[in-house]
Every structure is written in structure tokens, then in C-alpha cells.
Chain A
Amino acid sequence: MITLDPRTKLFLAIVANSVIISAPLVYSALMFAVPAILLLFEKKWKFVLAFFSLYLAAALGFEHLKTMDVGRVGTLAVSTMMLISHMMPIGIVLYYVMQTTKANEFMAGMSKMHIPNKVTIPLTVMIRFFPTVFDESHAISNAMKMRGIRLFSLQTLKNPFTILEYRLIPLLVSLTKIGDELSVAASTRGLVPETKRTCVVPIGFHVQDAVVFVYCIAVLTCFFITSKSKQSIIDIVSNLFS
């Protein structure tokens, strides 16, 4: 298992986000590789395989079809592929960060970067909240199933907003309650902006962090050079070797 410093993960996420949105597909592939490999070390075989095949299909499909005239429906399909191939790497980076970063590591990392607790604590609460949202949402969908309210039925098609209401109102009510109880519990246990926390898990930079940093910076540099000279990355690499 390879553990990265939380700061490295943050850097990875930022680079992945900035490169992927505006760059050609090669970069998204380059950025996809990092979290995918790291997740393999976490033994998430199935997950990586599923994501990788979906990504590959979308990316190849998009590259193949983007210049063709495919008609109206085809355009819809191609733009979906584009969306998947461009957004997926962001998704997988975020998934990796969420899966592997503990709340205390994250807070320790942030405080080492001198980011004030007032910013860190709400962010940490947000990370903590995602699993709760899924948990609650699952319970609510069970309740709806029992009522016979289905996502696709004549009734919901007639009135698509009701389904949103049925889903969101109970979710919001229970999340507000949990959020309030959570902050009460956290403050009785001394989590207030003024504290100077320690962290049981040692954090710090290691070789693997350096590798990720160098890789990310290399990708970024390539991206800037290519976007200036309008060359493709393949040209640069072939120029280097010729």
C-alpha cells in the first residue's frame, strides 16, 4: 500500500482539475493513470477495472467519432462520451482522495499549510458528510419503494417535480438534524477553531510524494508548452528524441 501525504493528494486533485477541463484528451488520460494506479495499490481492482473500461470506451469513441457527421442523436451520444472522458478523471481523483484520507490527516495537512481552522473544519465536516448523505438517501429510497413511488411511473412523469420533493425534503430534514447533532458532539469534544490539534497518524513527504509531484509538474509543463506552441504532445516527444 502506498500512502501519500494529504498535501500531495490535494495537489494532485488541483492539477487534475485544471489540466483536464481545458486540455486535449491525452492529458486526461495521463491524469487518469495516477489515481488509477494508486487505487490498484488499495486493492480496488473491480472499481478501477469498471472505471477504466468505461473511460476507455468513451475516450476511444469520442476520438473516433468527433470529426464525423453523426446526426442529431449521434451528437448527443458523442457529447456524452466527451463529458465522460473529460470528467471521469476528476471523479476518480476525488474518489481516491475521499477513500484514503482520514479526517485527522486532512486537518493535520491543512494546518501544516497554515490554512486556518475556520476553513479546515467546515471542509472536513463536508467530507464526513458524504457517506451520511448516501446512507440517508438509501433509507429514503427504501421508504419510497414501499410506498410504491417509483422513479419512472406515469404519476412521476406527469409531475416530475414531486419526485424531487419526495426525495429532497426528508433528506434535508434528516441531514439538518444530523449536522446539528454532529457539530454539538464535535464541540463537546474540543473541536473549535482555536484549538491546536495534534495527529496520531504521522504525516510527511516521502519518495512516493516526490514521484507524484514530479509527474504532475511534468504534465503541467507539457500542457503549457503545447498550448502555447499549438503543437501536440506527440510532436514534442518525437522532437525530443530526434
Chain B
Amino acid sequence: MNITLKKVSFSYTDSIYDAVLKDISLQINSGECVVLAGESGSGKTTISKLINGLIPLYHSGTMAGDVLLGDKNTSDITLAEISKYVGSVFQNPRSQFFNVDTDSEIAFGCENLGIKPEEIRRRIEKTVTDFHLESLLGRNIFHLSGGEKQKIACASVDATDPDIFVLDEPSANLDLKTVADLAEIIKIWKSRGKTVVVVEHRLHYLRDVADRIIYVKEGHIECEWTPAELESKGTTYTASLGLRCMNLESLGEPNREDCHSREGGNLPSCSQTSNIVFKDLCFAYNPKFPILEIPTFTLPRGQITALIGHNGAGKSTLAQLVCGLCGSRSQKRAVRKLGTYLIMQDVNHQLFTESVLDEVLLGMSPKDKSAALEILDSLNLKSYAEKHPMALSGGQKQRVAIASGVSSNRDLIVFDEPTSGLDYRQMLAVSATLKTLANRGKTLFVITHDPELVLNCCHHVIHMDHGRIVNEFPLQGNENKLIHSLMCK
């Protein structure tokens, strides 16, 4: 089914003057796989919402122009009808499930379309074999990992067998291994002649599947390449557009001048020798199946250590242990003495007060306003001191959470996926913040799947698998090894 956008403009407000999309025309042919890339806020997600009908049928705003699916204009039909033609997968795996168990979730879309139960069962069976989901059937979705949830989301739209698939940053919370599985799923769809539209920052996994990459900037289509064309232009070019790299292997090439001297300050020197040592980090919900068994591990003080490993390897559990959020009483006591702070993946959970300044003062004892302002200044937040934390952008919220950790005088700050779903420029900003913190003498421990972040700011890499540390190495000179560990090869 063809998708045609004819001179579409859209604004979320009443006035067309602050439009997020300006006069966009785009033709996507049946069977094509098109990637919409661009920086955050460029309007690429809005384009995907035009295709799956959420605009104009769910979000209100001002719209001009026509969106045609085949020969049907989306503004003339209902969302229920569009859902027969278009299947959507969203960024956040936590919030796209309507059911608690996986089986019902895969059946959900079909049930809404009123398909007969026998036919639904047949379709589920086919989807499950195609996507190799046998081990995920009959499970509670709340107990699945992010990658598994995203696979179920794909399976659920696949079962309804639409002609068009729209994926809005599907890989944001996934490790590289699951991202590769996602690419396989897209390949299956393409081989069946389906049209696939992917909104994405991470381009590397789409290198072999995508037919076109469309670059959206400030509400209009700036340019268009084939993946090969974009790759041949080199990493510096893609980075200048705010896009993530096309080829992960090329990142691993040693002596890349640019990766250590990029904007945002130099890495602090590696000469310090003192280490923070953790001993006997073990954790199990059930004593027979320990989730974590680490006899000892060390973090070099004042430096940035990356913790890598695929979803479900025990990284988050390790972070929680290190921060005293789980584990035995003696472990917690030891951790409290050390002073650790966790910056959660969803920072909304850890902002409580009415102003940014209060947020920083909350953990301070004694409360020292000038010191608090100084911390805010170092994180470029001084001008927001009186704002409500929830009114800030994602990156700013993250920095407020960091500021509250710094103000409570913790020496070890743990980050859980600080760059998931961020474009290149935002990733660089996070990396600059991390470097600033390390320069202030903080020890940082970063859980991440993001090779570019690690290459940009980390000194050491710890690789975990099945609850154990399988490898530990300094980053310098081992760039290739890092990429391979991330890809789980």
C-alpha cells in the first residue's frame, strides 16, 4: 500500500504559524522500507503519527494538506479502520500493553478487528514461529525484559497483518543483540512486501534493510540518501547532522582522533591509582538461581567506568546493589558509608519538589544556598533554579537529578542508561556532563548499550553476562573489543 503525503503542514496549537511540519510532500511506495531520521524535535515522530492516523484523529491541532493510504484519505476514515492497514510499534515498551499476559497481548489487535477466534489462533501460531517467540508465550508481561516486550509488541501488530508498519524509535531501550533481532523482524516484513516506516536515531541496524533514509530538519525534509550513500559520507558528516553512526564496526577502528578530543572537555587524567573495591556482591530471588555472583570488582576513583552486557545480564541488579537498593543489611550498610547515588533511566521517578533549587537543597545538610547554586551553575542549570522540575526537558531533568546526587555529597554516581533514545547531539551533551563530574573528582559507573557514549567518555569497560563479570579492560586501545562485546559476538 502506497503512502502519500501531499503538502502537509501541522501544528499542535491553533495557529499554523508555529507548525512542527511545514509543507511536507512525501511518497512511500508499497514494499519500501523508509527510515525517518533527524534530531529530537525535528518533526519526524509527527510524520509517523500522520501515517498511523493519530494525527488528525487523536491529537488535535491545525492541519493542512492530505495524507493518503492507498487511495484513502486518513481524515475521512476512523482510527479503527486505519488500524486494519497500519500497525504501530512505539518507543516505550512499558506503556503499549493492554494485557498482562503475552498470549492475550498478541491476540489483542485481532480481537479488536473482530476476527474469528480460530483464525486468530492460526495467526498467532504463524507469528510465533516466524519470530521465534515460543519461549515467551504464557508469560507475565511485567516480568519481561525491555527487548522481549518490544518483540511481543511487534508480534502483536504482525498478527493483525496490516500492509504498513510504523515504528517509532523501537530500539531506544534495547541492547545491540535485541536490536539485531528487531532488524530481522523488519526483514521478514519487507520480504512479505509490506511497507515499513521507521523513525530512528540509531541507524546502524537498518543499514541492510532500509531503502531510503530521509533526513527531517525543523519540520521539512532536508535530504534523502540510500544507506550506502550516507555511509560513504563518513561518521563526521552524520555526526554533524546529529545522527548516530551508520556502521558500528568502523567505530572500533583504533586511533580515531575525534573520539577523545570532541567538544565537552578532555578526559580527566588516568594517573590516579586509588580504587573503590566491592566484595561479595551476590543477589538472588531464589537461592538456587543466583542472579548475581561477583566475588570482587573495582572501580577506579575519579574515572568513568562503563558497564555493558545484554538485557537481562544483571546490570541493573548490580547497580541496585551498589546503590543499596537491594541486598543484605550488611551490604547496604557498607554502601551507605561509601555514598552512592543512582540516576535512574526514568528520571521522573526521582524528582519530588517544586523547584530545581529545592531539589538540590533537599539532600543537603546543612542547607547552603550558594553552594547549591554553584552546583547548578556547573551543570548549566542556574537559570532554571526557580522552575518546576517537571516543566523541564528530558535532558535538563536528568541534570537536575545529577545535581541532587552531587549536592548530597555522594562520591560514586551510577547512571542507568543515560542516553537511551537520545540523538547524537544530546548524547554528546550527556557525555560532556559526565566528564564534568569526573573532573570534579566523582567516580562514575555507567550502565549503557551505547557504543558512542562509551567511546566518548569512558576509561574502563566492565562486561557482564549471566550475573558474572566476564571481561574487564581499559578502553584505550581496546575499541574493537568493546564493539564486539556490545554486539555479543
Contacts and interface: CB of A to CB of B under 8 A. Distances in A.
Given A146-B323, A147-B362, A185 B100 contact: no
Contacts of B53: 188
B100 A102 contact: yes
Contacts, number: 164
B434 interface: no
B99 A190 contact: no
Given A184-B54, A198-B120, A178 B112 contact: no
B108 A104 contact: yes
B435 to A, nearest CB: 23
Given A139-B346, A147-B362, A178-B95, A194 B80 contact: yes
B120 A148 contact: no
Contacts of A187: 54, 58, 79, 83
A145 interface: yes
Contacts of A185: 88, 90, 95-98
B95 A143 contact: no
B156 to A, nearest CB: 7
Contacts of B348: 170, 173-174, 177
B112 A190 contact: yes
Contacts of A148: 363, 408
Contacts of B62: none
A182 interface: yes
Nearest to B53: A188
A186 B98 contact: yes
Contacts of B333: none
B126 interface: no
A146 B114 contact: no
Interface stretch (B12-20, B280-288, B292-300, B349-357): B349-357
Interface residues of B, number: 62
Interface string B109-141: 111111111001100100000000000000000
A140 interface: yes
Contacts of B379: none
A192 B79 contact: yes
Contact of A189 (B160, B324, B342, B353): B160
B349 A197 contact: no
B86 A198 contact: no
Nearest to A108: B111
B352 A184 contact: no
Given A128-B98, A139-B344, A198-B120, A189 B78 contact: no
A125 B98 CA distance: 7
B117 A199 contact: yes
A198 B115 contact: yes
A189 B157 CA distance: 8
Interface of A: 102-104, 124-125, 128, 131-132, 135-136, 139-140, 142-149, 165-166, 169-170, 173-174, 177-178, 181-182, 184-192, 194-202
Given A125-B98, A182-B98, A200-B121, 19 more contacts: A103-B100, A104-B104, A104-B107, A104-B111, A131-B100, A140-B349, A144-B352, A146-B350, A147-B352, A173-B348, A173-B390, A184-B54, A184-B90, A187-B54, A188-B52, A197-B114, A198-B114, A200-B110, A200-B120
The 9 closest A-B pairs by CB, nearest first: A190-B112, A190-B83, A143-B350, A181-B95, A185-B96, A166-B352, A188-B88, A189-B109, A178-B95
Interface of B: 52-54, 58, 78-80, 82-84, 86-88, 90, 92, 94-101, 103-104, 107-117, 120-121, 124, 142, 156-157, 160, 320, 323-325, 341-342, 344, 346, 348-353, 362-363, 390, 404, 408
